[in-house]
Every structure is written in structure tokens, then in C-alpha cells.
Chain A
Amino acid sequence: MFGPLICKPGSSKSNKTGPWRTESRPKFLKKDCIACNMCVLVCPESCISGQGKNTYDFDPNYCKGCGNCAAICPKKDITMVKEEGTQ
């Protein structure tokens, strides 16, 4: 008899951990973006993607709202906003 034994790859993708986010989420303003890619590089969840200027955005299914992207953005084109439903 066998119980839980093996994990197929991709379990960190199938577990949507975005709901762990509690206070704030990034907002990509998409006005002054120069496509420097810094937000992608600093995201600890690898959940930011984009192709070219003013196309970058984050995936709310995995973002924890750490704010690294907003802090690194040289054009201040990302801001942190209150998470919906929080006060």
C-alpha cells in the first residue's frame, strides 16, 4: 500500500499563494515605464512580467505585496496601494 509519496513538478505554481497578501499590492501606472526590467529582477515571487515599455504588470495569484518593485522603480511608475477589503 502506498500513501502520499511523490510530488509532480509545478506544485508552487498550482498552490495560489496570493491570498497570503495582507496589506498592500503594487499598482503599475504604465505611464513613465522605460522597460528597465528591474521590477522583474527584484520580485522574490517571480510574478512580474512584461514586454516593452508600459506593459509590465504583476500576477495577483502569487504576489505577497512586499513592495520591492515599487521601491526599485527608477521612474516611480509603480506605487503600493491598499489591498482591497482592508482598512
Chain B
Amino acid sequence: MKELLEGSMAVAEVVRLCKPAVISAYPITPQTHIVEELARIVADGRMNAQFVNVESEHSAASVVLGAVATGVRAYTATSSQGLFYMSEVLYNIAGMRLPVIMTTAARSISAPINIWNDHQDVVSLRDSGWIQFHAEDIQEAVDLHLIAYRLGEDKSIMLPVMVCMDGFILTHGLETVDMPSPEQVDKFLPPYKAPYKLDVENPLTLGPLVDPEYYTEARYALNKTHEEALALIPKLAAEFAKVFGRTYNGLMEGYQLKDAEKVIVAMGSVCGTIKEVIDELRAKGKKVGLLKITSLRPFPANAIYDALKNTPKLAVIDRALSLGSFAPLSAEVKAVFFGKPKKPKNISSFVVGMGGRDITKDSIKEIFRLMNGKDKQAEFIDLKPELLKESYD
């Protein structure tokens, strides 16, 4: 049924429909509305789940780790500093192969303190072993949660999945969302059956100390499973389309790629703005397109290569930095083409929309304009030079 919903309410509702047995979270802007609503749902008896109040994100992550280790479905959500406070536990959740599902309301990181949206928090966790999806709009955020549970709990995968949605823009924005029915969700998402779990009748140890004889293989298997997830995600997306009637690729989405001479690669809500600019420029005969990356991990390198190998000019938009090096997404997109027979003539890298600075249609048009010149390296768009000085004397 189509409803006008705030992003956080829509996510809370789809999590209710996924029936986690345990929810644990610590409030942090801009994630708060999601877990506040879930706490209300549980308190009102609309959901048979235990909502565990905790004193920190580290504890919230530990609670959901423990819950999934006992063989039940669990859910948590966080943002920014909260995600970092969780991070030690997050690597353990992935290494212990426990399919925790988490929403991250993507937000900037301190210092300076800033509560608005960019991707610095989530992109920093790209090497944690978690599968990482990025939603463009609220509908996609809702749908990705359903795919996330199916994917993470697949017996061949058994990995945690992070669904990233842009803080405020998606968590607090209102959108008409086609909410799935309980019957549809039950059809797509069967109850979780853990292949291994903590059970006093059949004791076992998860996450034990292993010496150099064993560690390499544990990490190798984790990496290989991400490759296996690459193959499984489009299949699950196709199954999703059959049940819910909305079609995704799950890994990425091309928009006006055919015959495009200039293509922007981006993630998250900015893709909506880019699509609008593309429509305007296409109306004037400009051959422009977008490649939206939905799955940052696993990174769909081969699919990106196939989609963009004949594109003359590429620009990668990062809303994160790898301080002291290339912008992270741009580095990975460039790596896709290294040593390959076909590649774009130009690949430029732009940093935009940090700490919630608006990315306007003009910002995107400026990027398309700048793609005419030499390759840009982590070029900041909409930078205010008047705020910068060389020394503090």
C-alpha cells in the first residue's frame, strides 16, 4: 500500500515486518527516529521482540551479536560516532559470520562536530567484512532491508549487512512509499534458521583464539564469500521483483548510460539530483549518464567495467575522504580499469556535499562542465576559499 512516510518510519515499519526477535540500539542523530519508532512498536505490543536498552553503541552491537549467535534474527541502527564506537564489535560480527542487519543513517564525523549527511562514517567501515548497501531514496532503503535479511541469512553467505541511507535527507524526508504487506514479506523472507548457534545442549565456541595455522583461512573465506555474494545479490533482487514488483539489480543501476559520453559514478541520495540534471541536459542533446553504486561491498568491479568500458569521460563523486590519499570511491573505480583492454580516456574525482552541504543541480552541472578539461583529483566542489588560511598566527 502506498503511504506518505518519513524515511525513519518506513524503515521501522519494514523492520517490524521482518520480525527480528531482538532489537538493541543507542540513540544518535539522525538515526534516532528509527529506533524510537521501533521502541514504540514493541512497547505497544505490535511486535513480538525484545528491545534491549543499552548504555552505548558498543553494547548495542554486542547485544545483537549475542542475539544472532543464539540463533535468532536481530536488528540495530546507528550513525557516525556511534558507528565508530561499534566498530570493534562490527569486525567481530563479520568474522563470526553472524547475519546482523543494521541501518546506518550516514552522517559526517567529528571533528568539528557535524550532525549532517555525508558518507565518511560508513565508507570508513568498508573493510569490516560487512556487506554495505547504499539507498538512493526511501523506497530503496525499505526494499534493501528485505534483500539484506535474505542475503545475510543465506546459508552460503552468513554475513552482516549494513543498509546505508543518507542522514536527514532520507531518514527525515517524506516520500510516497509502497510499503510491502506482511504476506509479501513472509513469502520473501522465511524465518531465520541458524546453521550454527549457541545452545547449552550442544555447546560450541564462536570466535575462538586461532593461531597462525588457522587465521589466514578464516579471513580468506570471508573475502571469498563477498565474491559469492556478488553473484547472489542480482538473483535475490530478481526474486524480490517477483514478489514485490519493483526491479533492482542490487549491485548498481545505470541511468542513461547507453551512448553516454560523460558519466558520473555516485552513491546514495545525490543520485536523484543527478538523474534530474541528466534529464535536463539530455533534453538539450547532451549525452550524459549516471552509474549508481548500490553495493559498495561487495564491490561489483566486473559489472562496473562492463557498464563503463566504452564511456569516454567518467567522474566519480565521493562524499567521503581517505585523508592523505585519493578519494576512496574514485580510487576503487580507477582500479576497475587498471590493466584492462578498454577504459575511459578521463576519470576525474570530485568531493562534494561534506557535512550536509547541499549538492544542488548547479553543483552537478559544474561537475559535468569540469569533465571537459584535464582529469581532476579529489577536486572539491562548492568550496569556500574565503574560510581557509595558511596559518593561525
Contact = CB atoms under 8 A, between A and B. Distances in A.
Interface in B197-240: 203-206, 208, 210, 214-215, 217-222, 224-225, 228
A81 B220 CA distance: 48
Contacts of B158: 2
Contact of A9 (B96, B205, B217): B205
A9 B208 CA distance: 11
B158 to A, nearest CB: 8
B364 to A, nearest CB: 40
B326 interface: no
A7 B207 CA distance: 8
A19 to B, nearest CB: 17
Given A6-B206, A7-B204, A7-B208, A1 B196 contact: no
Interface in A1-41: 1-9, 11
Contact of B97 (A5, A7, A9, A11): A5
Contacts of A3: 214, 217-222
Nearest to B225: A1
B205 to A, nearest CB: 4
A7 B225 CA distance: 21
Main DSSP-derived SS at the A contact region: loop
Contacts of A6: 196, 204-206, 208
B206 A2 contact: no
Nearest to A8: B204
A10 B228 CA distance: 33
A6 B225 CA distance: 17
- Report the interface size class on chain A: 10 to 19
B332 to A, nearest CB: 23
Among A3, A4, A9, residue most surrounded by chain B Cβ atoms (within 10 Å): A3
A14 B280 CA distance: 70
A7 B205 contact: yes
Contacts of A5: 96-97, 196, 206, 218
Interface string B97-138: 100000000000000000000000000000000000000000
A9 B206 contact: no
Contacts of A8: 203-205
B229 to A, nearest CB: 11
B93 to A, nearest CB: 13
Nearest to B157: A1
Contacts of A4: 210, 214-215, 217-218
Among A4, A5, A8, residue most surrounded by chain B Cβ atoms (within 10 Å): A5
B227 to A, nearest CB: 9
A8 B199 CA distance: 12
A8 B202 CA distance: 9
A2 B97 contact: yes
Contacts of A2: 97, 158, 221, 225
Interface string A63-84: 0000000000000000000000
A51 B96 CA distance: 43
A70 B197 CA distance: 43
Top-8 shortest CB links A-B: A3-B221, A3-B218, A3-B217, A7-B205, A1-B224, A4-B214, A1-B221, A7-B208
Given A2-B158, A7-B208, 17 more contacts: A1-B220, A1-B221, A1-B225, A1-B228, A2-B97, A2-B225, A3-B217, A3-B218, A4-B210, A4-B218, A5-B96, A5-B196, A6-B204, A6-B206, A6-B208, A8-B205, A9-B203
22 contacts: A1-B220, A1-B221, A1-B224, A1-B225, A2-B221, A2-B225, A3-B219, A3-B222, A4-B210, A4-B215, A4-B218, A5-B96, A5-B206, A5-B218, A6-B206, A7-B205, A7-B208, A8-B205, A9-B203, A9-B204, A9-B205, A11-B208
